[in-house]
Amino acid sequence: MIISVKEVRNFLISILIPLVIGYASSFISQMLSGVDIATSYSQLIKPGFAPPSFIFPIAWTIIYILMGISSYIIMKKDYKSTKVKDAMFYYWLQLGLNFLWSILFFGLDLRFTAMADLIIMIIILIIMIFKFRKLDKKVAYLNIPYLLWIFYALFLNYFIWTINR
């Protein structure tokens, strides 16, 4: 099987998009708060189950790569079909909510609003996974780690918001 340069390019772009969006969110958060996210996180009072700050970039990089792979496979199905457009709408919507979370939580110190963002993100992500599942079951499963991570983030966000009020 020969893979075209165009397919490799599209694959890499699909992976780079969530990575760049995640990085941009962190950058904007840092610009707004004047402190990098790791420092900001270390200054919070956290529950005992909170991971060390070095875990987050590793987890998010893996999740963003899986998101990019899944979006690439879905887009390859037939990007003009209604089912693909519908599934990708939810992909872009959850990615936008993902982008906002760091800005709300770290950049603007709006932890309750960030928690609301996560709740909406979970709903949209579940819808996206079901839409992806209708097109390709394996691709839907690529997003399960992301969903689990977001549930964990919601739990952590709640406790940090409660402790630091």
CATH fold, domain 5-163, is Ferritin (1.20.1260)
Give the start-to-end residue ranges of the domains of the chain.
Answer: 5-163
Q: For residues 70 and 18, is the Cβ–Cβ distance under 8 A? A: no
Q: State mean pLDDT over 52-73.
A: 96
Q: What is the dihedral of CA 48, 54, 59, 64, to 10 degrees?
A: 140
pLDDT digits (tens, 9 = 90+) for 82-124: 999 999 999 999 999 999 999 999 999 999 999 999 999 999 9
Distance, in Å, from the CA atom of 144 to the CA atom of 73, rounded to the nearest integer, reads 16
CA distances (Å), origin 50, targets 65, 132, 144, 160: 23, 31, 21, 9
Q: Residue 1: what pLDDT? A: 65
Q: Residue 61: what pLDDT? A: 97
Q: State mean pLDDT over 139-150.
A: 97
Per residue, the 3-state secondary structure of 35-88, as one string, reads: CCHHHHHHHCCCCCCCCCCCHHHHHHHHHHHHHHHHHHHHHHHHCCCHHHHHHH
Q: Mean pLDDT lowest for which of 1-10, 18-27, 79-88?
A: 1-10
Distance, in Å, from the CA atom of 111 to the CA atom of 104, rounded to the nearest integer, reads 7
pTM for the structure as a whole: 0.93
Quick one: which of 116, 119, 128, 108 has its CA closest to 150?
Answer: 119
- Name the average pLDDT for the chain: 95
Distance, in Å, from the CA atom of 4 to the CA atom of 45, rounded to the nearest integer, reads 51
Q: Residue 3: what pLDDT? A: 79
